[in-house]
Every structure is written in C-alpha cells, then in structure tokens.
A and B are shown apart, each in its own frame.
Chain A
C-alpha cells in the first residue's frame, strides 16, 4: 500500500540557496503559479468582450464578483467595498488552488500549513495595518477595552493578545486540515480499488462520492476562509469594543 502522505511531499524543482535561506522553486510554488495563471486567463477570457447583456462567461465572472461584493457588504458594510480586490483575490486563489489539487498528479498547496499560514499571517498584518490606519491609537483598545479598571490589565491584555494571535492559526489549521484529510481519504480508498480485485467497484463508488463531497468542501473552505478574513478585518476597523 502506498504512503497516503507521500502526495504532500515538497519536491524541489529548481534548487536555489540565497544567503543560507532555501528559496527553491518547488512543486508547491509551481501549483501556486498555475493557480494564478488559471485565474488570470479565465478572467481575461470571461471579460474580454464586456456587454450590457452578458454572455455566459461574463455572467460567471460577474456572479463571483457579486458573491464577494455581497459577502463584504454583509460583514464589513459600506466601508468594506474598498477591500473587494483583496478579498476577491483571496477567495479565487484558495478556491482554484483547492480545486486544482483534486486533479490527478497535481499538488494541493492549501494542505500545507506553511503556505496557508503565510497567507493568514499576511491577513493578520493587513488587519493590524488597516486597524491602525482607521482607528489610530484607538486600535490598542482591542487589547484593553476603554472603561475597564486598570487592575484588570494583566488579565485582559494576555487574553486579547492570544485571541488575536490565534486568528491566523485557526484560519490556517481549518483549511489545511480539511484539505489534507480529504486527500488522504481519497488516496486510501484509491489503493483499495486495486487491492480488492473484483470488489474494487465498492471503494471506487465511495471514492467518486468523496470526490463530489471534496468539491463541495473546497468551495466551502474557500468561502469560510474569506468570510472569516472579512470578519476579522471588520473587527479590526470597527470602533465597537
């Protein structure tokens, strides 16, 4: 039986060391580049000839945009429309990355804590930046809400700091674990198809069902990731304690 974790192995395609830091171009990097390429080409093709009455392709691209716009309106309100480009990029990058990972012989970079974690830390840094930009020094009331007695500071500040640091962690773990578990299940069932001989059709049907379910999970996880990024951003820029 094949090792089901082998599919997550990082392989160096173009090894490169710079100042003692490993900057190699890996299979994960390649998949990220392909994901970006697929999104850019799909969007260019869909929006090549824009018309008032949209074609199917244009309607598809516009429906994704509407979906993101609606999500931002719900979570961030009117203030959030300037983040549409950021959230749209996040959603399409994760959703397409997840879906491409379902193709045979491809690589799911969203199952790697390093890749998703970097994205989540980037989101956290953006939250802090926009929080400071919108609220100025009032942003630090996140760690110690106004009106609380000073004696509570040693208790509240560590709790709020841990709560803030946990945000990228929970975003990362949720996405990475969901993607890894699905792929491990597919791989394990896949090996049963061959080993069970005539009865191999049973795991084959199960595998097909899981692929359909995984397709749903890929989109759901991308949706959850982006919604939560919006929620965290709204918490950072809103004046509500």
Chain B
C-alpha cells in the first residue's frame, strides 16, 4: 500500500494531541485527589468531635450530669479526630511513595 507522508505527519500530530489529553486528564485527577484529601481531612477531624458532643449531650440528659459527659467525650472526640487525620496523612504518604 502506498504510504502518504502526510499520513505520518497526521499520526505524529494525533499522538501529540493524545499525550496532551492524557496529561490534562492526569492533572485533573490530581486536582480531584487534592480536593478529596482536603475535604476528607476536615470531615475526619470534625466528625468524631461532633459525635462525641452529641453522645455526651444525650448521656448528660439521661444522668443529669450537666456537661460532664459532653466535655469528656468532646476531648475523646478531639483525640479521635487527630488520630484520623494522622492516619490519613500516613495513607497519603504511602500512596505518594507508591506512585513515585
């Protein structure tokens, strides 16, 4: 089959365009990952504090202990939040090392 040199030029241009698209896709997925991690860190930190305060509020109502349980469980929630963020950071570190 006769090969047209223009076809080869076209192929080069198409490969270059495809590579450009792939780079853009990778950047897009990195942005999504960045977003995901940021939102996740915030939620993982706040959620146990909120849960702790909520359970503490209910227990205080049940046992008529003013704010004792709320305070204690808020502190535990804070600790759990920090632990969650630490675990997330370790997980991200592992992923970054795996992708290197």
Give chain A's interface residues, CB within 8 Å of chain B.
155, 158-160, 162-163, 165-167, 169-170, 173-174, 220, 223-224, 227-228, 231
Query: Are A228 and B76 in contact, CB atoms less than 8 angstroms apart?
Result: no
Q: A166-B81, A220-B35 are in contact. List 20 more A-B contacts (CB 8 A).
A: A155-B79, A158-B73, A159-B76, A162-B48, A162-B80, A163-B80, A165-B55, A166-B44, A166-B48, A166-B77, A167-B47, A169-B47, A169-B51, A170-B40, A170-B46, A173-B43, A220-B32, A224-B39, A224-B40, A228-B40
Q: How many residues of B contact A (CB 8 A)?
A: 23
Instruction: Give the residues in chain B near A174, CB-CB below 8 Å.
Output: 39-40, 43
A-B contacts, 19 of them at CB < 8 A, read A158-B73, A158-B76, A159-B79, A162-B51, A162-B52, A162-B77, A163-B48, A163-B83, A165-B48, A166-B51, A166-B81, A169-B47, A169-B50, A170-B40, A170-B47, A173-B43, A173-B47, A174-B39, A231-B91
Instruction: Give the residues in chain A near B80, CB-CB below 8 Å.
Output: 159-160, 162-163, 166
A228 to B73, CA, bound (A): 25
Instruction: Give the residues in chain B near A227, CB-CB below 8 Å.
Output: 36
In B54-83, the 8 Å CB interface with A consists of 55, 73, 76-77, 79-81, 83
Distance to closest chain B CB from A14 (angstroms): 33
Q: Which chain B residue shows the least CB distance to A227? A: B36
A170 to B51, CA, bound (A): 10
Contact for A163 among B40, B43, B73, B84, CB less than 8 A: B84
Instruction: Give the residues in chain B near A166, CB-CB below 8 Å.
Output: 44, 47-48, 50-51, 77, 80-81, 84
Instruction: Give the residues in chain B near A220, CB-CB below 8 Å.
Output: 32, 35-36
A160 to B48, CA, bound (A): 10
Instruction: Give the residues in chain A near B43, CB-CB below 8 Å.
Output: 170, 173-174
A229 to B47, CA, bound (A): 16
A182 to B51, CA, bound (A): 25
Instruction: Give the residues in chain B near A167, CB-CB below 8 Å.
Output: 47
A224 to B73, CA, bound (A): 28
Query: Are A162 and B73 in contact, CB atoms less than 8 angstroms apart?
Result: yes
In B7-57, the 8 Å CB interface with A consists of 32, 35-36, 39-40, 43-44, 46-48, 50-52, 55
A162 to B50, CA, bound (A): 10
Q: Which chain B residue shows the least CB distance to A174? A: B43
Distance to closest chain B CB from A226 (angstroms): 11
Instruction: Give the residues in chain A near B83, CB-CB below 8 Å.
Output: 159, 163
